Structure 1
Amino acid sequence: MKIAVYSPNWVGDAAQALPFIHELKSQNPEAKIIIVCKDWVESVFLHNPCIDDIVSLSANDVKGVINTISTGISLRKKKIDYFYTLTDSFRSSVIMWLSNAIYRVGYNTQKRAKLLTVSVPFPSTRLHRTNKYLNLIGKEKTQFGQKYIYLKKSEIDWAESLMRKRNINSPIAILPFSVADSRTFPKDKVKEWLSRSPDQYVVFGSKGDISSAKKIIEQNKGVSVHSFCGDFSLRQSIALISLCRYAIATDSGLGHISSILGVPTISFFGAGVSDITKPIGANSILLNK
């Protein structure tokens, strides 16, 4: 049996979908699990023993009607038996329908019920996002202590080597940026936290965060602060974060990654809805500020 899962599109949401994938494999140990995801979240799923195949889609693959149809039809060669969508989008249900999957399962949102063979009523109560996904297979959890992100030894070795070359030892990760400005740490607050600290810090972010990271470094002269913003891929950043002593994070994809890696993570939620999207790692502390 082949079971496909259409992944959420954001890094944090994809990370919070990992318990669903593990539970799906637990319920169907002989099945081949296929992840269909956007290419920018593929790193979340790599080397996971519960996943047998990954179909990585570019932004262009789902841009417009023609490309969406082509993508759905291209999945027919996978001969999918069950296809779950973890997004609430209409587009994902169209792709599932065009894939000729025998059973297509998802929530009855976006007027897509006719494209699904199993249209699940949207939960009437507020569920944490991970439990919203798990609800599709009749499962809910309150503890998420197991391992969900897997790194190869070669990836860890590379990260350790890079840290040594930059004379960084057991740093604290600063994950201050988010796609929403309202969730990004104020620079003055970071300066307050790091003031006169003897520890080493590494700021993680994207290419778009490079200038903001430089300002954080400039505001914290005398403190050992390094920026990895824009220098590494998401997968490389995951390996580097795994070596950090702990992390201070905003409500962001990297904050969820850090938590799921088991790195002790202090997560600050301001504009986010913490009861729905709080990190699921066992070593996480949530502060609503």
Structure 2
Amino acid sequence: MTRSLVIAPQWIGDAVMTEPLMRRLAARGERLTVGAVPWVAPVYRAMPQVGEVIEFPFQHGGLQLRERRRIAKEAEGKFDAAYVLPNSLKSALLPFLASIPKRVGYLGEARVGLLTHRLKNPKGKPPMVAFYSALAGEAGVEGDRPQLQLPKEEISAALERAHLPSGGFYVFAPGAEFGPAKRWPAIHYAELAKTLPLPVVLLGSGKERELCEEIAQEAGGGRCINLAGKTSLPDAFALIASAKAMISNDSGLMHVAAAFGVPQVALFGSSSPEHTPPLNDHATVVWLRDDAAYQPPLDCAPCFQRDCPLGHTRCLYDITPERVRSLLQ
């Protein structure tokens, strides 16, 4: 059996989109160990194909060479192959320093000497699931869809901790780590919450707690339960998996909901559903760039900017709460 080390991306959404790759590698008999930063590690623990998850003590930015050398020394002789999912130079260092014989990844930034099997980077912004699945070296990756699983007892325990019944609430994930140009306005989330027949659970990181509190206060009447920054990531996953439906921006939690097959409405603005769609039969995407009835056309989208370069963010502001309410299953 091939012992394989997978170097994971550092974003939750990207991590979810690597699940089909994990499935392909495991199906051909590879025993998978995933190295991931702590805030991404729970994603891989929801993938039955992954045998072990090692939490890397890395942060965004910085080479952190001393830590990479230490972990590489511990990994020496333990793996036959490595799959380097991020495109950065530093992500390819650990498998190289550990002398793992087969090291697979995209060319990325100055990595020719670090990888033994190099794929050319596709032009433009390809669908990310197929981008990651292609590292398996197999055909037919275009139809891959991520799937996550949690044990029933973990879901029940999370619901009990949150004092919530399964299917008895909606989830809103109003944040987006990349920036404001990906966030539907807080006032729209609040207005939507007022019209729903069930309570709304607000999920996000601690950095998004203030945003979620703004929504809860504006919605009033105790309609929203603000759990942003108050739940562990596994508990947030369990609540999403148990929701009647989820409404979110293009974010990591959007991909989590898709991988659990939860009914969802995904709101796109500055980014593109052609690049990172929620791959879920129960998902509805709203993107005004693709709406022929929306005038004047949004020729500026997708801009992929953190803040709207034109200062209006029409791509999100003009998606009305009434429209989103009509799309909920």
Q: TM-score if structure 2 supplies the norm length? A: 0.80
Counterpart Cα distance in 1 of 2:64 and 2:160: 43
Match of 1:7 in 2: 8
Cα 1:265–1:139 change in 2 (3 A) is farther
CA contact (8 A) 1:195 1:223 kept: no
Query: Does the aligned pair in 2 maintain the 1:196–1:223 contact within 8 Å?
Result: no
Tell me if structure 2 keeps the 8 A contact 1:246–1:264: yes
CA distance in 1, matches of 2:160, 2:223: 19
Note the 1:113-124 alignment, pairs <5 A.
113-124=112-123
- SS of the residue 1:104 aligns to: strand
Question: 2:85: which partner in 1?
Answer: 86
Provide Cα deviations, 1:149-179, integer angstroms capped at 9, x if missing partner.
121222112123235x357861111011011
- Shift of residue 144 of structure 1? 4.4
- Relative to structure 1, the CA distance from residue 74 to residue 63 in structure 2 (aligned partners, 3 Å threshold; closer, same or farther) is farther
Q: Structure 1 CA distance, aligned partners of 2:166 and 2:148?
A: 24
Q: 1-side partners of 2:25 and 2:155: how far apart?
A: 28
Letter in 1 for 2:71: T
Quote the sequence identity (%): 22
Structure 2 partner of 1:24: 25
Identify which range, 253-262 or 194-203, moves more after superposition. Answer: 194-203
The SS at the match of 1:195 is helix
Indicate which of 155, 176, 183 corresponds to 2:174.
Answer: 176
Q: Which amino acid aligns with 1:269?
A: F
Q: Judging by fraction of residues, say which structure has more helix.
A: 1
Q: Within 2, Cα distance between the matches of 1:89 and 1:67? A: 17
Name the CA shift for 1:167/1:70 in 2 (closer, same or farther; >3 Å): closer
> For the structure 1 residues 67 and 215, does the alpha-carbon distance in structure 2 shift closer, same or farther, using more than 3 Å as the test?
same
**How high is the TM-score relative to the length of structure 1?**
0.91
Rounded Cα–Cα distance in structure 1 between residues aligned with 2:171 and 2:144: 22
Taking structure 1 as reference, are residues 139 and 249 closer, same or farther at Cα in structure 2, changes over 3 Å only?
Answer: farther
Alignment of 1:62-211 (within 5 A): 63-77=63-77, 79-124=78-123, 126-136=125-135, 137-144=137-144, 148-163=147-162, 165=163, 170-179=168-177, 180-211=179-210
Cα displacement (A) at 1:223: 6.1
The alpha-carbon deviation at position 142 of structure 1 amounts to 4.2
1:38–1:56 contact (8 Å) kept in structure 2: yes
Distance in 1, matches of 2:184 and 2:285, equals 15
Q: After the TM superposition, which of the residue ranges 53-62 and 202-211 deviates more from structure 2?
A: 53-62
CA RMSD across the alignment: 2.1
Residues 134, 140 of structure 1: 8 Å contact kept: no
Q: Which amino acid aligns with 1:156?
A: I
The count of residues paired between Structure 1 and Structure 2 equals: 284
